[in-house]
Amino acid sequence: MEHETLFPLLCNTASGDKNAFAKLYQITSPQLYAVALKMLKKPDLADEATQDAFVKIWHNAGHYQRAKGTVLTWMVSIVRYRALDLMRYHKVRNEVDLEAEAIPDKPDNAQRFSAEQQKLEECMDELDQSQRQAIQLAYVNGLSHQEVVHHLSSPLGTIKSWIRRGLQSLKRCLSL
Amino acid sequence: MNYLIEERYNALAAEYVIGTLRGKARIRFQKLMMQYQAIHDATCLWEQYLEGLNHSVAPVTPPPKVWAEIQRRLGHADAPQAVPDQPAKPSRNPWQWTALTGLAAAVIVALFLIVPQKTAELPVSQVAIVSDNDNQPLWIVEVSRESIKVRVTDALAPLPDTDYELWMVPANDAAPISLGLLPESGSLLAAAPDFLFSDNIKALAVSKEPPGGSPTGSPSEVLYIAPLFKV
């Protein structure tokens, strides 16, 4: 999807093509919105983050650099950072119901994704469960260190070191 | 603190990307990224590394007002593309669309409430299972030549001041067509509208609505999408 579809749409968006932008929205907004909703929990805040992200995407389409990642990665990063800003601005306190929210060891639909995706999964699998869980709670659910402390019932220092070491191991594994 | 030690800025970049770098530290890091290309590059690399974690998040279609608001803010609101799914039909004003579908919705909601006399036992030809984001089935939809039967599972927790509305999402990306309000307990039997038998159906969708159903004729907040399967 990425190379054939999103990149040309983004290029055309950069030159002011509203149809291309509409198509880009149509294809990517469910993914971006889901990411925002997962982090922010509240639909009205997810609406706001998604709106802000697409306004920014329209204005900044020409700044995208292919060498720095896929179009989708670029777009998802924009909405994630906006969600983090909104959390701070609205002082969102993040709660995750761990019972209801069984964190999947692997995405259910893993087979649909690329070699990079599989590599990431393998590398995530190699982490200790606590490291993996802490990273997922922070990244996917948008939890702060303190909120991860609350959810995993371990001291702050431990949580920080799980995340830090988990990320180090992940990088080592991913760059092999 | 010397941020230019690779190991150090790399660790900060990773925490910036996963979102645990907060407050002033986050803003400080953003400045560093603007100053030092290597720090910016390290951050982009982490974005690429971790983006795959988002694939465990199932896509959710944003409510239509999100697109409308984007268009308004960009000053595109009167452009023909305001309905993102209609770029090929510049002659049609999106407001007309809303009015038309609103009218259709009103008619169909009314249809849905009339339980036909001879609904009986024609074989089921299509089914859809509407599940929540934890894959718990909430409604089971069975369509036969003449009727549409919806059963509610006990996983559905009805909410006060909320109705759920069922929509048909056309494959040609036209506006969704309302199939009426969904029951919140027991089951419902209604006449099946003809358009349920076209090949033009992408999926069914369920929206969250104020009591009585969508006030605009478009889904207010799409909660779930379910494919319709022939059986």
Q: Kindly tell me if the per-residue pLDDT of B107 is higher than 50.
A: no
Could you tell me the pLDDT band of residue A97, with boundaries at 50, 70 and 90? low
What is the count of structural domains for chain A?
2
User: Looking at A60, A90, A120, which one is the last position of a domain?
Assistant: A90
Residue spans per domain, chain B: 6-56, 95-230
Given a cut of 60, whether residue B93 has pLDDT beyond it is no
Q: What is the pLDDT of residues B144-199, one digit of tens each?
A: 877 888 888 888 887 777 788 888 888 877 888 888 888 887 777 777 777 777 77
Report pLDDT for A100.
53
The pLDDT tens digits of the residues spanning A81-95 come to: 999 999 888 877 766
Please report whether residue A146 resides in a domain.
yes
**Distance, in angstroms, between B80 CA and closest chain A CA?**
9
**Average per-residue pLDDT in chain B?**
77
A13: pLDDT confidence band, cut at 50, 70 and 90? very high
Q: In the prediction, which pLDDT does B88 show? A: 34
SS3 annotation, chain B = CCCCCHHHHHHHHHHHHHCCCCHHHHHHHHHHHHHCHHHHHHHHHHHHHHHHHHHHCCCCCCCHHHHHHHHHHCCCCCCHHHCCCCCCCCCCCHHHHHHHHHHHHHHHHHHHHCCCCCCCCCCEEEEEEEECCCCCEEEEEEEECCEEEEEECCCCCCCCCCEEEEEEEECCCCCCEEEEECCCCCEEEEECCHHHHCCCEEEEEEEEECCCCCCCCCCCEEEEEECCEEC
In this prediction, residue A2 has a pLDDT band, given cuts at 50, 70 and 90, of low
pLDDT value, residue B104 = 45
A71 and A9 fall within a common domain? yes
First to last CA, chain B: 66
What is the reported pLDDT for B143? Answer: 87
Distance from CA of A151 to the nearest CA of B (A): 15
Mean pLDDT of B2-17: 87
Do residue A84 and residue A32 come from a single domain?
yes
In sequence order, the β-bridge partners of residue A115 are none
- Whether B127 and B143 have beta carbons less than 8 Å apart is answered as yes
pLDDT at site B214:
79
Instruction: Give the SS3 label for residue A12.
Output: helix
Residues A78, A136, single domain; the answer is no
Q: Please indicate whether, in this complex, the C-beta atoms of A144 and B15 are within 8 angstroms of each other.
A: no
Q: Is A25 a member of any domain?
A: yes
- The answer to whether residue A159 is domain-embedded is yes
Regarding whether A129 and A61 lie in a shared domain, the answer is: no
Is A51's CB within 8 Å of B70's CB? yes
Asked if A37 and B49 come within 8 Å (Cβ–Cβ), the reply is: no
Q: In this complex, do B53 and A51 lie within 8 Å of one another by their Cβ atoms?
A: no
Mean pLDDT for B187-212 is 79
Contact between B70 and A120 using a beta-carbon 8 Å cutoff: no
Give the residue, A54 or B5, on which the prediction is more confident.
Answer: A54
Q: Could you say which DSSP state residue A123 is in?
A: H
Reported confidence tier of residue B56, pLDDT bands at 50, 70, 90: confident
Q: Which chain B residue shows the shortest CA-CA distance from A59?
A: B74
**Final residue of a domain: which of A90, A122, A157?**
A90
Q: What is the pLDDT of residue A60?
A: 95
Q: What percent of chain B has pLDDT over 70?
A: 79
Measured between beta carbons, the chain A residues lying within 8 angstroms of B20 are 138, 144-145, 148, 163
Which residues from chain B sit within 8 angstroms of residue A55, using beta carbons? 70, 73-74
Of B66, B73, B76, the CB nearest to A47: B66
Is ipTM over 0.85? yes
Residues A18 and A79 in one domain: yes
Per-residue pLDDT at A167 exceeds 70 = yes
Contact A144 B11 (CB under 8 A): no
Q: Which of A 124-163 lie inside 8 A of B, CB atoms?
A: 124, 135-136, 138-140, 142, 144-145, 148, 163
Q: Are residues A83 and A7 in the same domain?
A: yes
Residue A67 sits in the same domain as residue A115 = no
**A171:B49 CB<8 A:** yes
Whether pLDDT at A144 is above 70? yes
The architecture in CATH of the region B95-230 reads Sandwich (2.60)
**A130 and A78 share one domain:** no
CATH code for the domain in which residue A164 is found? 1.10.10.10
Q: pLDDT band for position A155 (50/70/90)?
A: very high
Q: Is there a single domain that holds both residue A66 and residue A114?
A: no
Question: Which of A74, A103, A111, A120 best probes binding to B when mutated, by most B CB atoms within 10 angstroms?
Answer: A120
Touching B: A residues 79-98, CB under 8 Å: 80, 84, 88
CATH number at residue A24: 1.10.1740.10
Asked if the model's pLDDT at residue B112 lies above 70, the reply is no
* A80 and A148, same domain (yes or no): no
Choice among A16-25, B76-85, B95-104, B142-151 with the minimum mean pLDDT: B95-104
Q: Which of A23-27, B61-65, B140-144, B216-220 has the lowest mean pLDDT?
A: B216-220
What is the domain range of residue A80?
Answer: 2-90
**Count of beta carbons in the 10 Å neighbourhood of residue B182:** 22
Average confidence score pLDDT of chain A: 87
What is the nearest CA distance from A132 to chain B, expressed in angstroms?
11
Instruction: Identify the residue with better confidence: B204 or B187.
Output: B204
Q: Are residues A78 and A115 in the same domain?
A: no
> Residue A42 has which token pair?
């509240």
Shared domain check, A6 and A83: yes
Please, which residues 46-65 of chain A have a Cβ atom closer than 8 Å to chain B? 46-47, 50-51, 54-55, 58
B2: pLDDT strictly greater than 80: no
Asked if residue A34 is part of any domain, the answer here is yes
